[in-house]
């Protein structure tokens, strides 16, 4: 089996290797890390002191973000929360910056089921298709929130996919997501992966059980697993057991352009798949067509990456999107619903009209 990163570099799960330990490379970057930490703290003080004032929506706002650079699996959790809210009688809407969309794209921009990922960003498009609720993108999250609420007055709770360190949108709940890497070496950028102090007060942290020791309370366990697989050519959906049986003699490959590709590959191996080759690409990057043609046999990818494969392009019958199965602590959703209801029952004083 071979595992390749971009340009042949060994993969490190989307992080430089020095972010995982306090070695010589990380120590050499500590002066820059100290400067980053001071600037981040000063920026936070501008908001906390009232010099800069956030826009407060007329509905509760839940921000799902991370304290580390790169992806940690926020988007699937946003989808899970949106479905739980809808099942409980709420009408959620989702705002996002739309990372990865082309420069100059109009914003605020509604995300439609048939939108192109290059216009909206891959994660907002995935959320629109998974959640069947309004999704808007803009570089300025308050602008996206205002536009969404004007066009969809029935929305009574907003979810922000990412944006934990973007304080212009006032929030009622702050949720932090960690993956198996936790907080790495625990140092700020660029000596480590931290965007902010991991102990800064927030409402809850979610992640794998082994990350609980690095996170403040309350902590809810979050486990990700591979679900069914869908063929991009004919739309067939197979269980992983059926996929393994159908391709028992084939060289199965996997490709991922997400925040932590190695986690996706490990998830597949944990399900009993033997991967002949894996390719890790930078998060949000389009997967080159020549790369897919060069990989032998069936190719597995995430649902997010599958969005960037155009309908009608050659070779779709070899490509399979892996659905993500999310197992969340059963106590989390009741806790969340209670907190959202509490925020909604607050006095409207201080809310700003959409």
In this structure, the dihedral spanned by the alpha carbons of residues 258, 263, 265 and 269, taken in order and rounded to 10 degrees, is -160
33-83 confidence digits (pLDDT tens): 999 999 999 999 999 888 999 999 999 999 999 999 877 788 999 999 999
What is residue 9's predicted lDDT score, i.e. its pLDDT? 36
Q: Where are the alpha helices (DSSP H) in the chain?
A: 24-28, 30-48, 74-87, 117-120, 122-131, 141-151, 240-246, 261-270, 289-294, 303-306, 332-344
* The pLDDT of residue 280 is above 70: yes
pLDDT value at 153 more than 70: yes
CA–CA dist 159, 150 (Å, integer): 16
- Specify if 354 maps to a domain: no
Q: What is the pLDDT of residues 191-211, one digit of tens each?
A: 999 999 888 888 999 999 888
Q: What pLDDT is stored for residue 312 in this prediction?
A: 61
**Number of structural domains, the chain?**
2
In a domain, 83, yes or no: yes
Residue 126 lies in a domain: yes
- Judgement on whether residues 316 and 230 belong to the same structural domain of the protein: yes
CA angle 286, 288, 293 (to 5 degrees): 140
Mean per-residue pLDDT, 10-35? 85
Q: Is 37 part of a structural domain of the chain?
A: no
**In this model, does residue 256 exceed pLDDT 70?**
yes
Q: Are residues 155 and 244 in the same domain?
A: no
Could you count the other beta carbons within 10 Å of the beta carbon of residue 30? 15
**CATH code for the domain of 212:** 3.40.50.300
Same domain, 195 and 301: no
**Predicted confidence (pLDDT) at residue 10 exceeds the cutoff of 70:** no
Asked whether residue 349 is assigned to any structural domain, the reply reads no
Domain that holds residue 166: 47-222+328-344
Residue 232, both tokens: 């991009």
What is the mean pLDDT of the segment spanning 334-338?
A: 97
Residue 206 sits in the same domain as residue 64: yes
Q: Are 192 and 231 members of one domain?
A: no
pLDDT at 321: 96
Same domain, 67 and 106: yes
Give a yes or no: residue 64 inside a domain.
Answer: yes
140 and 206 inside one domain: yes
Q: Are residues 322 and 196 located together in one domain of the fold?
A: no
Q: What is the pLDDT averaged over residues 275-286?
A: 90
Residue 255 sits in the same domain as residue 288: yes
**Is the same domain home to 302 and 333?**
no
Phi, psi dihedrals of residue 30, rounded to the nearest 5°: -60, -40
- 29 within a domain of the structure (yes/no): no
Q: Is residue 68 part of a domain?
A: yes
169 band by pLDDT with thresholds 50, 70 and 90: very high
174 and 79 part of one domain? yes
Q: Within this chain, do residues 58 and 204 fall inside the same structural domain, yes or no? A: yes
């Amino acid at each position: 089996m071979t595992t390749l990163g971009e340009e042949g570099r060994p993969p490190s799960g989307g992080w430089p290797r020095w972010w995982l330990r306090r070695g010589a490379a990380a120590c050499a970057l500590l002066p820059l890390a100290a400067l980053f930490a001071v600037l981040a703290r000063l920026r936070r003080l501008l908001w906390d002191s009232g010099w800069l004032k956030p826009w407060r929506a007329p509905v509760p706002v839940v921000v799902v973000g991370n304290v580390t650079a790169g992806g940690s699996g926020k988007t699937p959790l946003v989808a899970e929360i949106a479905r739980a809210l809808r099942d409980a009688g709420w009408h959620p809407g989702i705002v996002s910056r739309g990372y990865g969309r082309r420069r100059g794209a109009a914003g605020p921009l509604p995300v439609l089921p048939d939108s192109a990922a290059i216009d909206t960003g891959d994660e907002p498009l995935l959320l629109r298709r998974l959640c069947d609720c309004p999704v808007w993108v803009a570089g300025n999250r308050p602008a996206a929130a205002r536009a969404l609420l004007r066009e969809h007055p029935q929305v009574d709770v907003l979810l922000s996919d990412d944006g934990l360190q973007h304080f212009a949108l006032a929030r009622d709940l702050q949720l932090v997501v960690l993956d198996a890497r936790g907080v790495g070496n625990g140092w700020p950028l660029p000596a480590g992966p931290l965007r902010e102090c991991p102990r800064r007060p927030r409402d809850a942290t979610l992640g794998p059980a082994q990350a609980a020791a690095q996170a403040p309370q309350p902590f809810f366990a979050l486990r990700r697993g591979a679900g069914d697989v869908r063929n991009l050519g004919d739309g067939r959906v197979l269980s992983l057991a059926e996929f393994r049986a159908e391709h028992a003699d084939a060289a199965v490959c996997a490709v991922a352009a997400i925040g932590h590709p190695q986690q996706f590959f490990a998830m597949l191996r944990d399900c009993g798949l033997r991967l002949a080759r894996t390719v890790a690409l930078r998060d949000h990057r389009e997967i080159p067509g020549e790369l897919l043609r060069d990989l032998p046999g069936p190719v597995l990818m995430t649902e997010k990456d599958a969005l960037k494969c155009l309908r009608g392009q050659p070779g779709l019958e070899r490509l399979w999107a892996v659905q993500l199965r999310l197992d969340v602590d059963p106590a989390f959703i009741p806790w969340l619903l209670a907190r959202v209801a509490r925020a909604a029952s607050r006095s409207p004083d201080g809310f700003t009209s959409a």
